[in-house]
A = this chain, B = another copy of it.
Amino acid sequence: MNYPKGTAIKERPHNKSDINYANRGMNLEHDLNITNEYYRDQDIAHIYKKPTPIKIGKVNYDTMKITEAFFESPSTTDYNGIYQGKYIDFEAKETNIKTSFPIKNIHAHQLKHMEAIVRHKGICFLIVRFNKQNETYLLFAKDLLDFIKDTKKSSIPHEYFVQKGYLIEEKYHPRVDYLKIIKEFGGAK
């Protein structure tokens, strides 16, 4: 059973602090970091965002300051860790497009990595936030890969997330409670 579209958002009281909170929702990475911090503090799960891969060029070894470096593209997803003894692995993306999510936002080697994790029985998924609607969905990697395999489209319609994904309830603490969905539906997929 998926959450009805938009329910979690509509149910929140529309007071001032709530409006500020909604604005902060623009930064999914930040929300996930504090969610993962909450999970760790409560000893529910130990999931981290991997550091951004950087190729170091020059270092001043007296001060240990890096004076030249470049961003590299990641070979895996951004987040991984352990929950209830299981391996958890996911990628998180925001989009400002209302009607769809561009597939090119996920690198080819990230998709290959997700395939491997599914094959090895890890719990793997994509979290996408549609900024315009302020809706955050969890889509299991299997459903993501199924869509990509069967399509010639360059993007995944918002409707596909509504149908196949799970709307993540946004709360104060934990902010983006994605493990609630894993707990209920994660074993089945």
Contact = CB atoms under 8 A, between A and B. Distances in A.
Residue among A46, A56, A122 with max Cβ neighbours from chain B (10 Å)? A46
A62 interface: no
A41 to B, nearest CB: 11
A104 to B, nearest CB: 18
Contacts of A81: 80, 87
Given A48-B76, A51-B54, A52-B51, A71 B82 contact: no
Interface residues of A, number: 38
Interface in A14-32: none
B70 A48 contact: no
Interface string A77-96: 00011111111010000000
B76 A117 contact: no
Contacts of A84: 120
A52 B50 contact: no
Given A51-B51, A120-B85, A66 B76 contact: no
This chain's copy number in the assembly: 2
Given A43-B119, A87-B85, A113-B46, A69 B70 contact: no
Contact of A122 (B68, B85, B117): B85
B68 A65 contact: yes
A82 B51 contact: no
A64 B76 CA distance: 21
A29 to B, nearest CB: 14
A69 B69 contact: yes
B85 A121 contact: yes
Nearest to A48: B76
B66 A70 contact: yes
